[in-house]
Amino acid sequence: MLKPIPLKEDLYYIGVNDRTKHLFENLWPLPKGVSYNSYLIKDEKTALFDTVDICYSDIFFHKLEIALEGKSLDYVIINHMEPDHSGSLGLLRNRFPNVQIVGNKRTADMVQGFFGITDGVKVIDDGEELSLGKHNLVFHLTPMVHWPETMMTYDTYYKIIFSGDAFGTFGTLDGGITDAQLHPERYYDEMIRYYSNVVGKFGSPVQKALEKLKSLDIKYICSTHGPVWTLDEQIQKVIGIYDKLSRYEGDEGVVIAYGSMYGNTEQMAETVAYELAQQGIREVILHNVSKRSHSYIIRDIFKYKGLIVGSPTYNNKLFPEVEYLLSKIEGRDMKHRYFGYFGSFTWAGAAVKRLAQFALDTKFEVIGDPVEMRQAMRTDSYDACISLGKAMADRLKLDK
């Protein structure tokens, strides 16, 4: 029998783990699963912070009933309306008909739209407060992190920020709930992947949200995915990760993303990578777009400054998986990347022209001369790939 986990004297973790779902948002792989986090404060008034995916509502309600110990549920705070967090809200209202649903105006609109609920909804404004007794909640609206209704709730007593999806990660919580109970290092790459895949487009709103948090004394971060952050050095680290990613700042390194039908374009990618290494660039990541989920490629593009894309011409266009990847990059409004590109063709070339248009559309800084190879690798195309690799390495070294 699963029980709620006490985090403090009157604060309980009542989230669940999902080790079944293959794709988050039906897009992003979940090899390590994902958690849906929910929390309960028991004071003179009781407050629940978000619910969970409806698929796990039975476990969730079992934990909630145990934690309440017969007390009524007074409030449910909705920091984010995405169904992996609000999915059990309708069932919650059926079980607790007098519970007040707390959220901002956009939240209320979505509560009506998803569940047809209009009564018992308390609409709050930015900076408004709600007293539970010794716990005082302050609401901070953070629109577009990463839906228009998203907000964060700050508990002044324990100095907790209930942050919604912000600072969350992919990956289940395997025994430990807090960063002090596990090795947090294993979640960092999954935090970057979560941010780049789900939140990545909204760098400017994230920066505005972080600015709001600067005035708060934060001792705990309770996100809706991943560990509860309690250690000061970890809190500073995860806030720093979000700050860096939302500024689109990358480390020294290069992602080479390529498509290849029969290996010729792949040889170009290998040659460019070889020269980058020869020039002292240690972080060089090659991704075959047909083999590697775009989820991980996008993560790495957020991590590193250099991006080189290669594609054969396919039906007088880009190789389909390359084109699909580029559309995802454009959809995230990526900035501050150094971009190189190469392509191949057999009888009529189009890939290089289309990659040139992508560079114009994204306003990436183009590095080196693009390489276009007809049919197979020869000395001239080999040398041109070497030159492209060197040009990218030289540009990266200028930032040191």
Separation CA 283–CA 272 (nearest Å): 13
Length of the chain: 400
Domains of the chain listed by start with CATH number: 5-246 (3.60.15.10), 251-397 (3.40.50.360)
**What does 127-175 look like in DSSP terms, one character per residue?**
T-EEE-SS-EEEEEE-TTSSSTT-EEEEETTTTEEEEETTT--SB---S
Q: Using one digit for the tens of pLDDT, what is the confidence trace for 11-40?
A: 999 999 999 999 999 999 999 999 999 999
Mean pLDDT confidence for 288-300:
97
Q: Using one digit for the tens of pLDDT, what is the confidence trace for 64-82?
A: 999 999 999 999 999 999 9
Do the beta carbons of residue 164 and residue 224 sit within 8 Å? Answer: yes
Q: Are strands 371-374 and 28-29 parallel, antiparallel or unpaired?
A: unpaired
Do the beta carbons of residue 319 and residue 311 sit within 8 Å? Answer: yes
Do the beta carbons of residue 232 and residue 225 sit within 8 Å? Answer: no
- DSSP helix/strand/coil, 309: strand
Q: Are strands 75-77 and 100-103 parallel, antiparallel or unpaired?
A: parallel
**How many C-beta neighbours within 10 Å does residue 277 have?**
14
| Burial environment of residue 291 by CB neighbours within 10 A (0 to 12, 13 to 18, 19 or more) | exposed
Q: Using one digit for the tens of pLDDT, what is the confidence trace for 150-170?
A: 999 999 999 999 999 999 999
